[in-house]
Structure 1
Amino acid sequence: MRNLVKLAMLATACVSLTACEKVQKVAADAAGLPTDENVLFWTQDQRDNAFRQMELLATTRTIEAGDTIRVLKSGDAFPATLPAVEGDSAPGLSIDEYMADQRLAGLVVLQDGKIRLEEYRMDFGPDDRWTSFSVAKSLVSSLVGAAIKDGAIKSLDDPLTDYIPELTGSGYDGVTVEQLLTMTSGVRWNEDYEDKDSDVARFNTTKSKDGVDPVILYMKTLVNEAKPGTRWQYNTGETNLIGVLVAKATGKSLSEYLSEKVWQPYGMAKDAVWILNDGGKEIGGCCISATTRDFALFGQFAMNGGKIGENQVVPVGWYDKAGTKQADIGVEGRGYGYQWWTYDDGSYAAQGIFGQGIFIDPKRKLVIAGNGNWPRATPDDKKVGRDAFYRAVQAYVDSEAAPAE
């Protein structure tokens, strides 16, 4: 939810880096795209423009879709205004007003695998891609499940250093794969995006050296300040380490592995793209650009237990554990699973700054995917409004299932 990405400008088409940066700046200015590498300092108009075409600002790798597209049937459409939810102050929730308030470019609701709602705004459409920010974290954790099923990762109880030996002697000595997934490593970390000296600020500007991944270069400098497994702390760097773990264990890039395991066999409609870091590796904690419908399809894949036809992509019961509270985050009714935000009613969600999200409610066979551009990265009122929408959809689905009086 709070991931900050520092975008490196493309340099591959230029002879010298200085010349390339000048060319890219002129091109970005002409297209109305931002040239500041820090997304928090982009204007709202720049974000509206950039979030749908991040591949023009940074180097990416393609997550290839297959030849067979999963066809979604249409279910009964939701009413234009959802009825009021008991306990909420609003008299009812207009979907049009909700999208405007949340500044959503795309919104897709699947229920029992059928499209109940699909709406687009801001000159954005069903075939267009939008960036995910930290929604990518939940997709990356799913790749850990796939790697366990494939035998590339033996156990969640394995020490992380078994797979990334470069971390030996760092704060990650004694930290398990599962503790990395739940962000309970106990390693000292500062995720304050407005502090130029924070770990997340310095981490994102680390350059590759002698061919070593910049993720490893920075993370191996960190020290442990709490016993592993005893404290939860949000840490984007650790999700990037999860990406390193999966790539090392499988011998494949994250884009290739996601395409092989989910994107192609599950029938995603469009190629997606993944932003790369200075070392040419996918940023595990951020930045997959895909269509809103394909994000919803990923939610459907997770809700179905990670099974495609007769093929079980992740271990049986993976999402039952990944999508339930494994760590206490200090918020009543909420928690953190394996890179998923959890609700005590059994639902769980992937969330990214500026309003990206995939909400999954297995009990109601419900998936809600949204992509947008909030006025700020994590405004409390927008988060509250989004949760209110989730409750309104849940209540409406419940009302349909209730016996007539």
Structure 2
Amino acid sequence: MTTLVSGRLLNAAAIAGAGAGAVWLWRNQGRLATRRPINEWTFTHMATVMPTEDVPRGGRVFPLPGRSGPLEVSYTFGGAERSLTDLHRNTNTTSFLVLHGGELVHEVYPGRFAGPGVRFQMFSLTKSVTSMLVGIAVDEGAIKSVADPVTTYLPDLAGTAYDGPTVEQLLDMCSGAGDLEVHTVPDNDIRRFERAISGGGSLREVVRSVRRTAQPGARFNYSTIDTQVLGWVLESATGTSLARYAAERLWSRIGAEHDAYYWLTRARPRTAIGGGSLNATTRDLARIGLLMSRGGELNGQRIVPEQWVARGRGRGAEHLEVGALGPSGYPHYGYANQWWTLGGTRRAFTGLGIHGQYLYVDPQADVVIVKTSAWPTADDQARDLETVTALRAIVDHVAGAGNR
């Protein structure tokens, strides 16, 4: 009898322990999935982890002529001369592609699960694509004006921190809503947002709970929640999902080689993350960069308004200039229209995603660079600065120092 009771107690304890472990795994799945080396798999297999909505390509592929070859470029960082091999090792590169003059001059895939047909998780680089879609919607008249209040399109946000900011203020991350986006603070806005995405909570309730922390338009505060609201504005204005609008107005028109996809929230109604859930191949992202480098035209067709592209290279607002972003941005960046600006005479700009995703565009030099990565942490100023230093050196090398 004693043995039987002891056995039952041990079984119960084992079941309870397994249950507690399952609960811990559920609550910490996001942290586990983004740790190295697991993140190299996660960032190339999001369709097996989350619900998705496809972004189908069109019928014809826009060619990227040229032949990829070695790129013997060095850059100086930390007092030492470094090679691209050093860059890839130091910054956990998974894919890397360089276009010059629309031609493919360099392409490598150092990641364990990487390759030309692999779709990579782009995180906040998605924000730059969302901006392009908003620009198209404005040009078509679905969004009447960027000066419209957010609540014109999302009346259910009346009485929240998003009652007052305009579409333009969201585009420039100046809504005045929310706290500092730091991924290491357990219960701040972005962590609650992430838990709602993966744990089945309500994103709408998280957004409605965000506090007003500044007057709209007064200061820059990088916010994925701002772009989520912007994506909802787009969906409300166009009457279609983010993925479908992206397919019809963008992906089917750039000559993409592969379908892209957005992953969606687990909770219903499922929604794409306009600030972070696009997955696409490196080559197709290069086509997006080429479209931006060419002022919104590709293959003889106008896709994004030229003036909208120009907005992403800098808007002239003092608090958005390079070095003026405050604690919410690194000193070597400015911001405009959901793009990070680099200033200088070239006025290059880049889309960025956490864990080291880049779409670097230098229209003057006619260079586009895509880099996907699997950093061990969401943000890393040293890795970011080394990457930007290397990308600038590549532009100098490929296009010639005379293009500075």
What TM-score do the two structures reach when normalised by structure 1? 0.83
Q: Secondary structure at the match of 1:318?
A: helix
The answer for the alignment partner of 2:230 in structure 1 is 242
Per-residue CA shift, 1:111-134, capped at 9, x if unaligned? 111111111123421111111011
From 258, 271, 276, give the equivalent of 1:281: 271
Asked whether 1:54 is paired with 2:46, we answer: yes
Q: Secondary structure at the match of 1:302?
A: helix
Per-residue CA shift, 1:65-123, capped at 9, x if unaligned? 122111111168553x31456x98333x4222322222211100011111111111234
Distance 2:143 2:68 in 1: 43
Question: How many residue pairs are counted as aligned between the two chains?
Answer: 365
From 100, 103, 110, give the equivalent of 2:89: 100
Asked whether 1:338 is paired with 2:347, we answer: no
Q: Secondary structure at the match of 2:209?
A: coil
Asked whether 1:353 is paired with 2:354, we answer: yes
The answer for the alignment partner of 1:82 in structure 2 is 73
The answer for the alignment partner of 1:197 in structure 2 is 187
The answer for the alignment partner of 1:39 in structure 2 is 31
From 170, 195, 210, give the equivalent of 2:160: 170
The answer for the alignment partner of 2:129 in structure 1 is 139
Distance 2:135 2:31 in 1: 31
Distance 2:197 2:37 in 1: 30
Q: Secondary structure at the match of 2:37?
A: helix
Distance 1:361 1:310 in 2: 20
Instruction: Give the Å deviation of 1:247.
Output: 0.7
The answer for the alignment partner of 1:233 in structure 2 is 221
Asked whether 1:71 is paired with 2:63, we answer: yes
Per-residue CA shift, 1:132-185, capped at 9, x if unaligned? 011111111111101001110011111111111111122222211000111111
Instruction: Give the Å deviation of 1:38.
Output: 1.4
Which amino acid is 1:284 matched to?
A: G
Gaps of 5+ in 2: 1-18
Per-residue CA shift, 1:296-334, capped at 9, x if unaligned? 111111122222445433323111112215524135452
Gaps of 5+ in 1: 1-21
Instruction: Give the Å deviation of 1:60.
Output: 0.7
Q: Report the structure, 1 or 2, having the larger helix content.
A: 2
On the 8 A contact 2:56/2:260 being kept in 1, the answer is: yes
From 90, 98, 119, give the equivalent of 1:109: 98
Q: Which moved more, 1:336-345 or 1:217-226?
A: 217-226
Q: Secondary structure at the match of 2:73?
A: strand
Q: Secondary structure at the match of 2:80?
A: coil
Distance 1:127 1:225 in 2: 43
Q: Secondary structure at the match of 2:178?
A: coil
From 253, 269, 276, give the equivalent of 1:265: 253
Which amino acid is 1:228 matched to?
A: P
Which amino acid is 1:329 matched to?
A: L
The answer for the alignment partner of 2:295 in structure 1 is 305
The answer for the alignment partner of 1:321 in structure 2 is 311
Q: Report the RMSD for the aligned CA atoms in angstroms.
A: 2.5
Per-residue CA shift, 1:247-274, capped at 9, x if unaligned? 1111111111111112111111011111
Cα distance change on mapping 1:284 and 1:136 into 2, 3 Å: same
Which amino acid is 2:103 matched to?
A: K
Q: Secondary structure at the match of 2:392?
A: helix
Distance 1:316 1:99 in 2: 34
Distance 2:59 2:387 in 1: 35
Which amino acid is 1:53 matched to?
A: H
Distance 2:83 2:274 in 1: 36
